[in-house]
């Protein structure tokens, strides 16, 4: 039985992402340029029982990780759920430099020891002989900022999960899972925008009791192909499921959001993006009322 934190703080509001209204996200990004405001929110959330956070390797992530590492309370009692990789950065670089140069750039960030390994595995990976070795190396590079932190699970970004499934190259998901579980000793999770398609593929590959995170909310916002089909999959056993976009990017109230999610016995953890103290207090109470951890 997988034990995950019941409430995982989403990073979007702290990093300036707002799916309903980018202008509002931009304002938040400005607000949290101030480091002490960010630390204050994390400490407050912790005092209310939120002891976990989802985090990509966004440029702001290092700030958050430093706050956690240097805080007397947070440092031993705050779990990070890394989300790999910080895709926006790579998308831009891929556009500008091309895929090959992007890959070489990433690999150049490795340590000497890793470089040595790369000579044998990475280069072969590039040539298509051993792609899975290359994937391991890329995971290790992305995980560098999280060294020394308490980890809950490591998630693969939906852009890569869905790309791998779409391209019919889903064996790379096996490589991701195997490396995360053996090297970091935490569950490997997959984020997706297409729950039914992904589940079909993982079942075909013989996966069981796997961990998936995806948008799931009462209004069906960001839920593909439909709320109805995804609901069926969320009810179907064989998967640990963590919903995100739980409040439909702020379109529905916390009570509406979590009373809906509370109806699913399979849901024991939720990701919620919150950045205001009042909102955190209210929402934690509501989640505890409806969601069985």
Which spans of this chain sit near other proteins (rule: CB under 8 A)?
16-17, 19-23, 25-26, 29-30, 88, 91-92, 94-101, 103, 125-129, 131, 134, 159, 162-163, 165-169, 171-172, 193-194, 197, 219-227, 248-249, 251
CB of 229 to other proteins, least distance (A): 8
Name the phi and psi angles at 105, rounded to 5. Answer: -60, -45
Region class of 209: left (phi > 0), else alpha (psi between -120 and 50), else beta: left
Query: Which is nearer to other proteins, 73 or 127 (by Cβ)?
Result: 127
CB of 170 to other proteins, least distance (A): 9
Query: Which is nearer to other proteins, 166 or 293 (by Cβ)?
Result: 166
Sign of CA dihedral 89, 95, 100, 104: negative
CB of 188 to other proteins, least distance (A): 18
Query: Which is nearer to other proteins, 4 or 134 (by Cβ)?
Result: 134
Q: Are 74 and 38 in contact (CB under 8 A)?
A: no
CB of 33 to other proteins, least distance (A): 9
CB of 68 to other proteins, least distance (A): 23
Query: Which is nearer to other proteins, 18 or 142 (by Cβ)?
Result: 18
| C-alpha–C-alpha distance, residues 227 and 66, integer Å | 39
Q: Which two tokens stand for residue 168?
A: 């019919």
CB of 120 to other proteins, least distance (A): 17
CB of 26 to other proteins, least distance (A): 4
Query: Which is nearer to other proteins, 1 or 167 (by Cβ)?
Result: 167
Residues 6+ apart with CB under 8 A from 262: 289, 290, 291, 292
Question: DSSP of 92-129, one letter per residue?
Answer: HHHHHH-HHHHHHHHHTTS-HHHHHHHHHTHHHHHTTS
Query: Which is nearer to other proteins, 99 or 119 (by Cβ)?
Result: 99
Query: Which is nearer to other proteins, 151 or 159 (by Cβ)?
Result: 159
Query: Which is nearer to other proteins, 72 or 168 (by Cβ)?
Result: 168
Number of H helices, E strands in the chain: 15, 9
Q: CB pairs under 8 A, 24+ apart, for 255-264?
A: 255/286, 256/218, 257/217, 257/218, 258/286, 258/287, 258/289, 258/290, 258/291, 259/290, 260/217, 260/218, 261/216, 261/217, 261/290, 261/291, 262/289, 262/290, 262/291, 262/292, 264/234, 264/235
CB of 133 to other proteins, least distance (A): 11
* CB count in 10 Å sphere of residue 231: 16
């Amino acid at each position: 039985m997988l034990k995950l934190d019941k409430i995982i703080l989403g990073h979007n509001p702290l990093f300036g992402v707002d799916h309903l209204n980018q202008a509002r996200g931009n304002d938040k990004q400005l607000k949290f340029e101030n480091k002490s405001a960010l630390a204050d929110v994390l400490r407050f959330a912790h005092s209310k029982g939120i002891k976990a956070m989802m985090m990509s390797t966004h440029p702001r992530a290092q700030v958050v990780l430093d706050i956690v590492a240097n805080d007397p309370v947070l440092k031993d009692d705050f779990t990070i759920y890394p989300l790999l990789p910080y895709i926006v950065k790579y998308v831009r670089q891929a556009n500008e430099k091309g895929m090959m140069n992007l890959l070489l750039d990433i690999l150049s960030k490795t340590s000497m020891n890793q470089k040595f390994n790369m000579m044998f595995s990475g280069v072969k990976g590039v040539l298509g002989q051993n792609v899975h070795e290359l994937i391991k190396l890329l995971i290790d590079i992305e995980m560098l900022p999280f060294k020394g932190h308490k980890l809950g699970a490591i998630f693969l970004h939906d852009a890569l999960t869905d790309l791998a499934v779409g391209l019919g190259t889903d064996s790379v998901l096996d490589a991701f899972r195997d490396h995360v579980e053996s090297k970091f000793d935490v569950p490997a999770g997959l984020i997706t925008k297409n729950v039914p398609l992904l589940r079909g593929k993982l079942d075909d590959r013989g996966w069981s009791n796997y961990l998936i995170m995806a948008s799931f909310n009462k209004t069906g916002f960001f839920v593909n192909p439909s709320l109805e089909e995804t609901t069926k999959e969320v009810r179907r056993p064989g998967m640990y499921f963590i919903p995100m976009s739980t409040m439909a990017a702020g379109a529905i109230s916390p009570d509406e959001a979590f009373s809906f999610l509370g109806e699913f016995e399979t849901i024991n953890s939720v990701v919620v993006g919150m950045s205001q103290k009042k909102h955190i207090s209210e929402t934690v109470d509501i989640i505890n009322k409806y969601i069985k951890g």
